[in-house]
Amino acid sequence: MDAQILTYIIVGATFALYIGIAIWSRAGSTKDFYVAGGGVGPIANGMATAADWMSAASFISMAGIIAFMGYDGATFLMGWTGGYVLLALLLAPYLRKFGKFTVPDFIGDRYYSKTARGVAVFCALIVSFTYIAGQMRGVGVVFSRFLEVEINTGVYIGMVIVLFYAVLGGMKGITYTQVAQYCVLIFAFMVPAIFISIQLTGNPVPMLGMGDTLVSEPDVYLLDKIDGLSDELGFSKYTDGSKSMIDVIAITLALMVGTAGLPHVIVRFFTVKRVKDARKSAGYALLFIAILYITAPAVAVFSKVNLIETVSEKPYEEMPEWFTNWESLGLIGWADKNGDGKIQYLGPDRNGGVAIDGKTPEFSEGVGQSGERIVTNPSENQNELYVDNDIMVMANPEIAELPNWVIALVAAGCLAAALSTAAGLLLVISSAVSHDLIKKMIKPDISEKGELIAARLSATAAVVIAGYFGINPPGFVAAVVALAFGLAAASFFPAIVLGIFYKKMNREGAVAGMITGVTLMLFYMLKFKFDLFGGGGQDDWWFGVSPEGFGTIAMLANFIVSLTVCQFTKETPEDVQEIVENIRIPSGAGEATGH
């Protein structure tokens, strides 16, 4: 059957499943809407957490980053995986025992301050909207390629689907939808990986196949093959790194502590009955996440080898259909600089696939003499080919000439990954507005029905704003997501850690630290990612740290300011210190109340 028809069938079936689950599990109370009634089992919560955690960045972008950056791309793998371990062991059980619905709720009560709650709400909105921008871009790209609609139309379709089950079901609907989405996305990620591993190495286990010998060259190991191809084309060896050690450490740490401060992941631990269930669900989630994360490096190697052997030094006329399909979306670009009609894929290229002056190519409406879309901003860079990170997983089955049903399955998996995280983020945004802003600060006497209406209205508004980001994307998926992690690291992590483990931490210190951290991170992002405040290049980075790693510096500034201000201001009240002592005692806890 044609790949297009199969894609419509499989994607349509998964959407019907998500909507059916949302109708079945619709929220009837604020507790259902915020924490799924507090009665989700550990295994189901583990799967939902894994789906919430593995966004379009993990599914679509991470393998693409590793494919083009090689060793340097491992920072994302180490940071995101290590961060989840940090969250599961260091924060989740204590936050669950505190028994609040949201991260701003914890900060507002722990620091006995409406100002602290307000700053936390602002930070939650900034982090969530930055993160969701990447998810909606992923939704638009997937729809535009696999369903052959305009990217904007694809974003609109994704908005409607997410709006339906997020607004109707709240956390209850999202949780059980995410269980289904995890099953879809992990199956979609593993099936092509297994197929291609068998194709290239004869080994059905992708992570072992990556270190195995080739079927076509029994004496050559796959990693030696990709190193050899990289050398021939003028790139650095795939297994070598080019980033400075301080930047590698900063990025890894920013992603780790950013993970531990992500509000949409933390809230998942409030949906279980007991503290021990929070610990169990964290363990299950780590297992479910590991399946994809230990496979991603193999997928990166497989896709890079297949791409090089398919396109390098080949005439444009011989390019398969998948090449021109992605070219029409502007996610592959070719500038025929020497006029030989062949695609020169040459180094140096360590910018995550961006090969033309390190910038996304701009295309004219016309075509060149070989039929290629004309790049209007070619440079003196010797590389003629631009490949977007985000297509490597999506195009992988087509490059490897796998069956059409596998291509359709990958489309469904990409959408499951993007939509699952988008839904979780929308809930954080809606609860921050309805629960933390309206109920806790503006109108404390609001009825439960009124709060539920406010939550649904704020979720609707959030979907509209998220859709805008999808239509006007700020960058490739993983770059945007990495900045969201930096913001979470700079704002939430110190306040949460000090709030749990340092009972004398007071509101003045926490508020000053959060404002310092998030302001520094926003300034650095705007300066070096969006060229504001005078812009600047890599030589101008502070301490040699990239914007993706600056969350570490901003986090340290947060800690220093928090602890310094704390020493010169009023001591934390005794009753608050007793609460902090209590949440560290590993005994049972009641249900999350939100009061």
Report the distance separating Cα 190 and Cα 205, nearest Å.
10
Domains by residue range for the chain, with CATH: 3-27+37-201+241-302+402-583 (1.20.1730.10), 332-387 (no CATH)
Q: How far is CA 518 from CA 192, 487, 515, 554, in A?
A: 40, 6, 6, 7
- At residue 152, the pLDDT reads 77
E strands along 155-252, which residues?
none
Please give the single-letter amino acid code of residue 72: D
pTM assigned to the model: 0.79
Q: Collapsing DSSP states into helix, strand and coil, what is residue 332?
A: strand
Structure tokens of 505?
């931490």
- At residue 249, the pLDDT reads 87
Burial class (CB in 10 A: 0-12, 13-18, 19+), 457: middle
- At residue 227, the pLDDT reads 76
Report the distance separating Cα 575 and Cα 69, nearest Å.
51
Please count the CA atoms within 13 angstroms of the CA of 562 that sit on its side-chain side.
30
- At residue 366, the pLDDT reads 62
Mean pLDDT per 10-residue section of the chain, whose length is 595 residues: 81 84 69 64 86 78 78 77 77 75 81 88 82 73 73 79 69 80 91 92 89 86 78 61 80 83 73 78 86 88 85 83 80 75 66 45 63 61 70 85 88 82 77 78 81 81 80 59 81 90 92 94 84 75 87 94 94 87 63 51
Report the distance separating Cα 166 and Cα 224, nearest Å.
47
Task: Give 180-199 as a DSSP string.
Answer: HHHHHHHHHHHHHHHHHHHH
| Beta pairing partners, 213 | 221
Please calculate the CA angle 590-592-593 and round it to the nearest 5 degrees: 105
Please calculate the CA angle 313-316-319 and round it to the nearest 5 degrees: 95
Give the burial string for 404-417 (b: 16+ CB within 10 Å, else e).
bbbbbbbbbbbbbb
- At residue 189, the pLDDT reads 92
